[in-house]
Every structure is written in structure tokens, then in C-alpha cells.
Amino acid sequence: MDYGILILHISRLVMGGLSAFFAIYLWSQTRDAAWMLVIMGIILRYLEITFSTLSFFGIIEEGGILQLQIPIVRIVLENLPYLFFIAALILMIRRQRFR
């Protein structure tokens, strides 16, 4: 086993866990739609980190659902957090524009 990749996965889990923890804490403090979208993006990003780590260790099968030889779960987990971040930024831009 390559220790560099192992350390990479462990550091991603730790940093992702900390960011998800603070995001959930902020979730209980705010009801702003833009912040809620950012928080959901962070939590989904941690889900992707957890999924890739479990896949790395062989605990789950990454290519379970394939469409045209493309792992659908991987594509969704990689891109969905960014869609939430984009939606949050659009909300903030619209809020600034209509002041």
C-alpha cells in the first residue's frame, strides 16, 4: 500500500470532517438560503470524500451503476456540491444587484 495515498485519504477525511462539523454547526445558527446552499455543498463534498475513501479500500464498489461505461454515482458526487455552490453564489449576486 502506498503511504502517500493513504495519508492523502486520511487528511481529506479529517479536513472534510472538520468542515462538515462546522457547516452543521452553522446550519443551526442561520436560515439564510445562500448559506444553506453552501452548507449543503460542503456536506455533499464530505460524502464524496467518504465514498472515494471507501472505494479506495475496496469496501464499496465504485462502478456499481454504469451508464455508457461512466460511473454515475461518481459523476454525481463529484459535481453536485459545485452545483450547490453555484446556486449560492447566484443568490448572493442577485441579492447584491437588487439592493
Q: What is the pLDDT of residues 12-67, one digit of tens each?
A: 999 999 999 999 999 989 889 999 999 999 999 999 999 999 988 888 877 666 66
Residue 32, all three cell numbers? 439564510
Phi, psi torsion values for 79, nearest 5 degrees? -105, -25
Between CA 42 and CA 83 the distance in angstroms is: 11
| Beta-carbon contacts of residue 38 (< 8 Å; ≥ 6 apart) | 23, 84, 85, 88
Read off the pTM: 0.86
